[in-house]
Amino acid sequence: MYAVVALGGSVLNVENPDRVRKAADLISEALESGLKICAVVGGGPVAREYINVARELGAPETALDELGIAVTRLNAALLNLALGRPEADVPETPAEAAETVRREGVAVCGGTHPGHTTDAVGAMIAELLEAPLIIVTNVDGVYDRDPSEPGAQKLRELDADELERLAFEADLEAGGSFVVDPVAAKIIRRGRVTTHVLSWDDFKSVGIEGALKGRHGGTIIRG
């Protein structure tokens, strides 16, 4: 069985080495159980620092995307080191990542396309592998509105069509944000990818197998 784990840069990055080690341990445990895993790592605060400086220097948006992708690939290489895979290549496309998992049983990648988040990349790989997706983020699930708003409620379960609707509505609002970006939500809906959205604390407690079985306090999107 395949599984894709999208580790947001807000929860796994060079500023949190203990989390890199713990993520590697959780992936290793899942591999030992027989799962085949693709981990997709985000850029986090380091990527934002580079992007902010480059923007001040007048760089075009595409160049900013490429900087962010470069940082995600560094984070992916760091996770490979923690997994004891110092010579492993970081796949450059979702198709390459999927093929690496099929062939080797594990792959770690970062961003691949300008304008696409690593959650979207994870959703593409999950679609290719016909696998479930785990999104580990700094929010403890999907909410019906911005979690900071009074009365916001966490949704334990929803379908992929509802996820896409919420993501696009949030994207249209001024300054709006949503735990799953619209492109990722669209791919999840299109590929009918069963998706689990949970916090880092939840993830490190239940592990990959536990997350796939829904033994978490986050949100399950039925594919």
3-state secondary structure of 58: coil
Q: What angle do CA 179, 181, 183 make, to 5 degrees?
A: 155
The parent domain of residue 117 ranges over 2-222
What's the CATH number where 40 sits? 3.40.1160.10
In sequence order, the 6+-apart residues with CB closer than 8 A to the CB of 104 are none
Quickly list H helices, the chain.
Answer: 17-32, 44-56, 61-82, 94-104, 118-129, 160-172, 182-191, 200-212
Q: Per-residue DSSP letters for 168-209?
A: HHHHHSTT---SS-HHHHHHHHHHT--EEEEEHHHHHHHHHH
On average, the pLDDT of the chain sits at 92
Task: Give the pLDDT confidence score for residue 10 in this predicted structure.
Answer: 85
Lowest pLDDT segment from 68-82, 172-186, 198-212:
172-186
Bridge partners (DSSP) of residue 222 are 159
171: confidence class by pLDDT, cuts 50, 70, 90: low
Task: Write the single-letter amino acid at 78.
Answer: L
**Tokens standing for residue 86:** 């110092």
Count the domains in the chain.
1
Task: Give the pLDDT confidence score for residue 90 in this predicted structure.
Answer: 96
Distance CA 38, CA 35 (A): 10
Distance CA 221, CA 52 (A): 33
Task: Give the pLDDT confidence score for residue 105 in this predicted structure.
Answer: 97
In sequence order, the 6+-apart residues with CB closer than 8 A to the CB of 222 are 157, 158, 159, 160, 194
Arithmetic mean of pLDDT, 92-114: 96
Task: Give the pLDDT confidence score for residue 172 in this predicted structure.
Answer: 52
Distance CA 168, CA 164 (A): 6
Arithmetic mean of pLDDT, 144-156: 86
38: confidence class by pLDDT, cuts 50, 70, 90: very high
Instruction: Write b or e for each residue in 110-132: b if 16 or more Cβ atoms lie within 10 A of its Cβ, otherwise e.
Output: bbbeeebbbbbbbbbbbbbbebb
Instruction: Write b or e for each residue in 33-53: b if 16 or more Cβ atoms lie within 10 A of its Cβ, otherwise e.
Output: eebbbbbbbbbbebbeebbee
Q: Is the pLDDT of residue 27 over 50?
A: yes
